[in-house]
């Protein structure tokens, strides 16, 4: 074998070894899997609320906004909320509701009685949006209603008022003469009469949900007429504060108002809207939302009478707790006959319990409430 042949064989052997090594390296190398593209983040559900008053009213709108915040806490990044406050009932409400629907909100809550017709009209224009109206009575395929049972609270407040009054005269500041408000006036009076048959109730109407100067003026008028315990179906703290200034008693409304008149405050009639708003949004997300009417009260935890003052007699406190227990288990009904109006006409026979339809149509004052019910809103 010549030297050239040996050299060629060695070169061939070397190249073969290198090739084999490279092949082995190549075979042993694992290709790194490509990282999966991050999943697209789900867009949050958009929900909106409209309020007739400012969210800082410490009353009705404030209570609903606490409910909205409870929904935010429940759903976190899965929910994006919008609020519009101080929206007048009527044409302005229609414009605001339509604008919220156009912004992509999938569920809209209108929290005042006077928004009903405006919401119904807009609902017909946006069939894929769900509309919820508080305290009304009209529905559509994509619009339903929800309500509280404040008359539960006002009856219990009446028990306390009947025990605390020295003049046997109660005062009530009313917003509008609609069944919702008339229920509360009548329940307040019946609750007071259950512990003090001498009770009479005077009413001053202010034709507004939120107007602190008007509410204060009405409260002062009632005090001037001899009322020494006041309740209201309006949204500010003005009635309680006016009672405080005059050395009289009053109640908080919609939320805890105890700090606004600590000497006057006997208790607060409150509403916890959070559970309902959470329920409505869960149903929308699950595809189970349907048109219906929901009326919750003490049993469901929506209504309650809280922060009863230390100065309230123990027997009144015990009676309130007994009533509350009866409302929870269904054994007690506020409107149980005989119920007689202030003209002497029987409206509910002895031992008869009012159904929801009866309550929805209340258009009278019970015996003991002075005056006549004005024409509707």
Q: What is the pLDDT of residue 190?
A: 98
Are the C-beta atoms of 108 and 94 separated by less than 8 Å?
A: no
Tell me which CATH homologous superfamily contains domain 45-147: Response regulator (3.40.50.2300)
CA separation, residue 260 to residues 45, 234, 263, 376 (Å): 37, 15, 9, 32
The single residue listed with the structure tokens 């060695």 is: 10
Q: Which two tokens stand for residue 105?
A: 């909100």
Identify which of 369, 362, 323 has the alpha carbon closest to the alpha carbon of residue 170: 369
Instruction: Kindly state the average pLDDT of the residues 285-301.
Output: 97
315-323 long-range contacts, CB within 8 A, separation 24+: 315/163, 316/159, 316/160, 316/162, 316/163, 316/164, 316/195, 319/159, 319/195, 320/156, 320/159, 320/160, 323/155, 323/156, 323/159
Please give the backbone phi and psi of residue 89, each rounded to the nearest 5 degrees, phi first. Answer: -75, 140
Instruction: Kindly state the average pLDDT of the residues 171-185.
Output: 97
Q: CA-to-CA distance for 369 and 342, rounded, in angstroms?
A: 6
230 against 35, higher pLDDT = 230
Answer yes or no: is pLDDT of 27 > 70. no
Q: Which two tokens stand for residue 177?
A: 């003469």
Q: CA-to-CA distance for 79 and 336, rounded, in angstroms?
A: 43
Q: Start-end ranges of CATH 3.40.50.2300 in the chain?
A: 45-147, 150-271+303-360
Q: What is the pLDDT of residue 42?
A: 82
Q: How confident is the model at residue 375 (pLDDT cuts 50, 70, 90)?
A: confident
Q: What is the DSSP secondary structure assignment for residue 77, as one 8-state letter?
A: G
CATH number given to 150-271+303-360: 3.40.50.2300
Are the C-beta atoms of 175 and 234 separated by less than 8 Å?
A: yes
Q: What is the pLDDT of residue 306?
A: 98
Please give the backbone phi and psi of residue 39, each rounded to the nearest 5 degrees, phi first. Answer: -65, 140
DSSP element (H, E) containing 293:
strand 293-295
Q: CA-to-CA distance for 292 and 76, rounded, in angstroms?
A: 27
Q: What is the DSSP secondary structure assignment for residue 202, as one 8-state letter?
A: E
Answer yes or no: is pLDDT of 24 > 70. no
For the stretch 230-261, pLDDT in tens is 999 999 999 999 999 999 999 999 999 999 99
pTM of the model: 0.87
Are the C-beta atoms of 273 and 302 separated by less than 8 Å?
A: yes
Are the C-beta atoms of 354 and 335 separated by less than 8 Å?
A: yes
Q: CA-to-CA distance for 135 and 115, rounded, in angstroms?
A: 10
Q: What is the pLDDT of residue 8?
A: 42
Are the C-beta atoms of 324 and 267 separated by less than 8 Å?
A: no
For the stretch 94-129, pLDDT in tens is 999 999 999 999 999 999 999 999 999 999 999 999
Q: How confident is the model at residue 35 (pLDDT cuts 50, 70, 90)?
A: low
Q: How confident is the model at residue 41 (pLDDT cuts 50, 70, 90)?
A: confident
Q: CA-to-CA distance for 249 and 17, rounded, in angstroms?
A: 104
Instruction: Kindly state the average pLDDT of the residues 285-311.
Output: 98
Could you give the angle at the alpha carbon of 254 between the alpha carbons of 292 and 303, nearest 5°? 55
Q: What is the pLDDT of residue 9?
A: 38
């Amino acid at each position: 074998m010549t030297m050239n042949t040996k050299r060629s064989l060695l070169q061939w052997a070397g190249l073969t070894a290198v090739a084999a090594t490279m092949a082995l390296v190549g075979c042993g190398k694992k290709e790194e899997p490509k990282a999966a593209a991050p999943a697209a983040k789900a867009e949050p559900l958009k929900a909106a609320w409209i309020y007739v008053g400012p969210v800082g009213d410490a009353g009705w709108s404030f209570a609903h906004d606490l409910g909205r915040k409870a929904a935010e806490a429940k759903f976190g990044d899965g929910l994006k909320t919008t609020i519009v406050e101080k929206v007048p009932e009527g044409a302005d409400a229609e414009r605001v509701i339509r604008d919220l629907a156009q912004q992509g909100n999938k569920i809209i809550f209108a929290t005042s009685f006077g928004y009903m017709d405006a919401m119904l009209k807009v609902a017909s224009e946006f069939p894929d949006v769900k509309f919820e109206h508080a305290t009304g009575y009209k529905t559509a395929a994509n619009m339903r209603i929800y309500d509280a049972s404040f008359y539960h609270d006002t009856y219990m407040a009446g028990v306390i008022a009947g025990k605390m009054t020295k003049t046997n005269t109660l005062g009530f500041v009313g917003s509008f003469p609609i069944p919702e408000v008339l229920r509360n006036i009548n329940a307040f009076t019946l609750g007071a009469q259950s512990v003090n048959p001498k009770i009479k109730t005077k009413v001053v109407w202010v034709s507004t949900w939120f107007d602190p100067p008007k509410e204060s003026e009405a409260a002062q008028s009632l005090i001037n007429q001899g009322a020494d315990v006041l309740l209201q179906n309006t949204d500010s703290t003005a009635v309680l504060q006016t009672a405080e200034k005059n050395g009289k008693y009053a109640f908080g409304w919609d939320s805890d108002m105890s700090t606004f008149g600590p000497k006057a405050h006997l208790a607060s009639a409150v509403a916890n809207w959070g559970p309902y708003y959470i329920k409505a949004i869960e149903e929308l997300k699950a595809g189970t939302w349907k048109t219906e009417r929901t009326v919750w009260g003490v049993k469901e935890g929506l209504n309650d009478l809280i922060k009863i003052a230390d100065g309230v007699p123990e027997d009144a406190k015990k009676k309130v707790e007994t009533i509350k227990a009866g409302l929870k288990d269904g054994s007690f009904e506020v409107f149980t006959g005989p119920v007689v109006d202030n003209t002497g006409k029987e409206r509910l026979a002895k031992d008869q319990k009012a159904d929801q339809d009866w309550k929805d149509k209340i258009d009278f004052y019970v015996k003991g409430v002075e005056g006549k019910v004005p024409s509707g809103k």
